[in-house]
Amino acid sequence: MSDENIPSFDALEVGAVVAEREVAFTRDTLVRYAGASGDFNPIHYNDVMAESVGLPGVIAHGMLTMGAAASVVEEWAGPGNVADFQTRFTRPIPVPNPGAATVVVTAKVGALDEELRTARIDVVVDFDGVKVLGKAQAIVPCA
């Protein structure tokens, strides 16, 4: 990858928002993700089953949510330039039928490591005013 696709370390400031995007999850999204991932847990497509285990209804896959968050960082950092991405799943995202559950993904510079020339990007995924991922962080090498 050429350096022109890699974020410039010197241009980054702690606290700066580097990317933000809304992502909508529909029941169709969940079906497609289940087929691609092989995760056919009925809590992702069957309201009766989801409610029987104490959920408010069908919920989005945690890994789908994480992937959406990571993709926002990767679009900013450049393809293949996210060295690490970690998070905790803290709240489910109920997906209505019909309709969509829309999350807002915001990525901002959380810390800069001058020695390694990397940026820690803190990611917030918000659904209806509540964070649904905990301590979501990416490490991005910089030029």
The mean per-residue pLDDT over the stretch 39-49 comes to: 97
Print the domain residue range for 81: 3-24+62-141
Chain mean pLDDT for the chain:
96
CA distances from 25 to 67, 93, 96, 135 (A): 12, 9, 9, 22
The mean per-residue pLDDT over the stretch 41-59 comes to: 97
Residue 72 CA to residue 78 CA, distance in Å, equals 10
Can you give the pTM of this predicted structure?
Answer: 0.93
Q: Is residue 74 part of a domain?
A: yes
pLDDT tens sequence across 116-125 = 999 999 999 9
- Three-state DSSP at 108 gives strand
Q: Is residue 54 part of a domain?
A: no
Strand 84-89 vs strand 118-127: parallel, antiparallel, or unpaired? unpaired
Q: What is the domain count for the chain?
A: 1
Whether the per-residue pLDDT at 88 is higher than 80: the answer is yes
Q: Is residue 87 part of a domain?
A: yes
- Three-state DSSP at 5 gives helix
Q: Is residue 66 part of a domain?
A: yes
| CATH number for the domain harbouring residue 86 | 3.10.129.10
Q: Is residue 55 part of a domain?
A: no
Residue 1: band (very low, low, confident or very high) from pLDDT cuts 50, 70, 90:
very low
